[in-house]
Amino acid sequence: MNSSEPDVSGLKEKPREAQTTQSPAQMNATYQQPLLLNWIAYRTIVRKEIRRFLRIWVQTITPPAINAVLYLLIFGGLIGSRIRDMGGVPYLDFIMPGIIMMGIIINSYANVSSSFFSAKFQRNIEEMLVSPVSNYTILAGFVTGGVCRGLLVGLVVSVVALGITQIAPVSILLTLLVAVMTAVLFSLGGLINAVYARNFDEISIIPNFVLTPLTYLGGIFYSINMLPEFWQGVSRFNPILYMINGFRYGILGVSDIPIVQTFIVLLAFIAVFAGIAIFLLNKGVGIKH
Amino acid sequence: MSHLQNNELALDIRGLRKSYDDGIEALKGVDLQVASGDFFALLGPNGAGKSTLIGIVASLVRKSSGSVSVYGHSIDKDPNAVRAHIGLVPQEFNFNVFESVMDVVTNSAGYHGIRRAEALERAEYYLDLLDLWGKRKDMSRTLSGGMKRRLMIARSLVHDPLLLILDEPTAGVDIEIRRSMWEFLQRINDEGKTIVLTTHYLEEAEALCRNVAVIDQGDVIRQGAVSNLLTEAITQTFIFDLENPQDLKLQDLPAFDAAEQTGALLQGSAGDGITLRWRENGQLEAELPRGAVLNPLFDLLGYQQVRVASMRTKANRLETFFLQLVDANDATADATPAVPSRESSVQESRP
């Protein structure tokens, strides 16, 4: 290129100050430390995911908090004042764990399904696919992001609820354990949904037509002991029943379901969903040709 | 290129095939070798299989059969090593448009295992080098097309790959940015990076690349040094602006064809077969067969006292060669059933 050609000053000859501190040879050795590489990649994905939902907090954090306040005020405060105790506790207290859990379920699911689908849709998932990061790390990163949003929404709803009713968890450890495991499960579900989704409508079908009904029928507002025996049996096929009751047990110490069954259901579903999710990522379903 | 030892090869592809579920055979046994440090062009018409080939090398597309190695690492046995050695600049913008410019680059560094502090330093280095430092806090969607291209280059370089693959990196950018990108790519190639480039601007390949492969209908139909391939071009055409075109009498040429209004120079062996014809705007077009030189034409113009104001090539030499090669391959393929375009079908099926 000679001097008569267009100005090429747009790209600078020398860097301003910074220098790369690793040579290519050093850099190429990093992939030989897979644990370190995947740990750094995991932190990167988690940071990216948390920043994503915090950046749009008006869409991700505020609506569930407003929903929870409305549920607690209308169902708990207004209607609940005319309802007798349920499970041996005031009705407002009874529904509070379920409402918190509903926020955790919906938001952990929605975070991963929308984030992973957006990455697929915009094709920036390819940034990860062309790097040495393992599929387990990608899965763990997205799931952690979903768990963080689910727990943050749960925390916000809890704080709001504490302004309406004063209760303290019977077991903080048990409460947290059920909350985290539930968020993990639904984050995995969100990722599986996103892998198969072909458009944005398909990531809202499951939350609207499956999760929300199952959550309402999972004993948020009532004890299944109120139902006829047949419907009690049917309700036991709803996995969300076990999560809501496990969470309620951690907070109030009352439950329709033995706590052991809650953990068995959670562990079984997490194992199955995690297996499906990693299988889909390894096969490249929806993300590789 | 078969004389190259494996340890000299940045990219070694043998018998690579790709068939899609719908029966489309995008690659039909491609053999391709790129030497370490080379600046290599992969040329071909739309749907030839270039992007599929790049996708396989970059782990985005699964191959049906064949082998791919990058710096001696097999994509089957050691895929992470392959990925660590490659930087990819895809054809379409594929970064998160809601992330800042800085985040796009540092996140990519993180996926390659570069610690945050180091990633920030590297991002500063490459964003500065590519004149994007002032835009580091901007949402990437707000960048111009040329800036987005440069952002993808910065992202692809942040982990210091040994092999940089660019799929039409200058598509849609203005000439100034394109030239500055050429200079940048030339510089990093001089510094030791192997570069594989696909482009539709053949002057780009001719200006930058030392070696080239032409891929058509899923197969490599020619591979070699650009300088060698150019000598194979059957013809090249020059356009002359004449100050006094009315003084040139093509009809005086011994091989004047009145029907075609063309004349051919037959004086001297070196000028044999130069065909002259008028263009609509009064310019003179001269088509030279392989091996011919322009001296007899200048002799004629001088003899008829025609003054040449300027001259240029009608198409660049590599473009001429490319079109001749692909036309010849298409003519051969006409005898066999046509292969549908993979690129168009992939685009349509993408969500």
A135-162 and A259-283 helices, crossing angle to 10°: 140
pLDDT(A83) > 50:
yes
- In this prediction, residue B345 carries a pLDDT of 31
Query: What residues of chain B, 21 to 50, have a C-beta less than 8 Å from chain A?
Result: none
What pairs with residue B198 in β-bridges?
B42, B167
Mutate to test the interface with B, among A8, A52, A131 (most CBs of B within 10 A): A131
Please tell me which of A81-95, B97-111, B200-214 the model is most confident about, judged by mean pLDDT.
B97-111
Burial class (CB in 10 A: 0-12, 13-18, 19+), B93: middle
- In this prediction, residue B335 carries a pLDDT of 52
CA atoms within 13 A on the CB side of A173: 0
What pairs with residue B12 in β-bridges?
B33, B69
Q: Which of A44, A132, A197 sits opposite B80 (nearest CB)?
A: A132
CB of A24 within 8 Å of any CB in chain B?
yes
Q: How far apart are CA A76 and CA A96, in angstroms?
A: 8
Among B108, B94, B269, smallest CA distance to B167 is for B94
CB of B60 within 8 Å of any CB in chain A?
yes
CB of B131 within 8 Å of any CB in chain A?
yes
Q: Which token pair is B350?
A: 């993408």
Out of B171-185, B188-202, B252-266, B316-330, least confident range: B252-266
Q: What number of residues does chain B have? A: 351
pLDDT band at B7 (very low <50, low <70, confident <90, very high): low
CB-based contact B84 A132, cutoff 8 Å = yes
pLDDT in tens, B10-64: 999 999 999 988 888 999 999 999 999 999 999 988 888 999 999 999 999 999 9
Query: Which positions in chain A touch B58 (Cβ < 8 Å)?
Result: 130
- In this prediction, residue A16 carries a pLDDT of 39
CB-based contact B62 A288, cutoff 8 Å = yes
What percent of chain A stands above pLDDT 90?
59
* Domain annotation covers residue A57: yes
For chains A and B, what is the number of CB pairs under 8 angstroms? 176
* Domain annotation covers residue A116: yes
More confident residue, B226 or A108: A108
**Mean pLDDT score of chain B:** 83
- In this prediction, residue B53 carries a pLDDT of 94
pLDDT in tens, A6-24: 333 444 443 334 444 444 4
CB of B182 within 8 Å of any CB in chain A?
yes
Look at chain A and report how many structural domains it folds into. Answer: 1
Instruction: Find the mean pLDDT for residues B278-295.
Output: 80
What percent of chain B stands above pLDDT 90?
46
CB of B140 within 8 Å of any CB in chain A?
no
Q: How far apart are CA A98 and CA A236, in angstroms?
A: 16
Out of A75-79, A284-288, B19-23, B134-138, least confident range: A75-79
Query: Which positions in chain A touch B61 (Cβ < 8 Å)?
Result: 288-289
pLDDT band at A3 (very low <50, low <70, confident <90, very high): very low
Which residue in chain A has the smallest CA separation from B165? A130
CB of A35 within 8 Å of any CB in chain B?
no
More confident residue, A46 or A232: A46
* Domain annotation covers residue A19: no
**Nearest C-alpha of chain A: how many angstroms from B252?**
39
Under 8 Å CB-to-CB from A226, ≥6 apart: which residues?
none
CB of B206 within 8 Å of any CB in chain A?
no
CB-based contact B62 A284, cutoff 8 Å = yes
What percent of chain A stands above pLDDT 70?
89
Domain B6-230 has CATH 3.30.830.10: no
What pairs with residue B238 in β-bridges?
B286, B313
CB-based contact A289 B60, cutoff 8 Å = yes
pLDDT band at A50 (very low <50, low <70, confident <90, very high): very high
CB-based contact B84 A40, cutoff 8 Å = no
- In this prediction, residue B83 carries a pLDDT of 94
pLDDT(A289) > 80:
no
Q: Which of B110, B155, B159 sits opposite A27 (nearest CB)?
A: B159
Amino acid identity for residue A202 in this structure: E
Q: Which token pair is B145?
A: 């097309």
Long-range contacts for B227-231 (Cβ within 8 Å, ≥24 apart)? B229/B318, B229/B321, B230/B206, B230/B317, B230/B318, B230/B321, B231/B290
Domain boundaries, chain B: 6-230, 244-306
Which one-letter DSSP state was computed for residue A203?
G
pLDDT band at A192 (very low <50, low <70, confident <90, very high): very high
* Domain annotation covers residue A209: yes
Which residue range(s) make up the domain with A131? 44-283
- In this prediction, residue B316 carries a pLDDT of 63
Q: Which token pair is B175?
A: 């000439």
pLDDT band at B344 (very low <50, low <70, confident <90, very high): very low
The helix/strand count (H/E) of chain A reads as: 13, 0
**Mean pLDDT score of chain A:** 87
CB B100 within 8 A of CB B136: yes
* Domain annotation covers residue A24: no
* Domain annotation covers residue A205: yes
SS3 B221: strand
CA atoms within 13 A on the CB side of A40: 22
pLDDT(B340) > 50:
no
Q: How far apart are CA A119 and CA A114, in angstroms?
A: 8
Q: How far apart are CA A240 and CA A245, in angstroms?
A: 8
CB-based contact A1 B122, cutoff 8 Å = no
- In this prediction, residue B341 carries a pLDDT of 37
Distance (Å) of CA B105 to CA B100, B141, B152, B197, B224: 9, 14, 8, 21, 35
CB-based contact B113 A33, cutoff 8 Å = yes
Which residue in chain B has the smallest CA separation from A123? B94
Q: Which token pair is A24?
A: 């290519």
Instruction: Find the mean pLDDT for residues A181-190.
Output: 97
**Nearest C-alpha of chain A: how many angstroms from B182?**
9
Amino acid identity for residue B139 in this structure: M
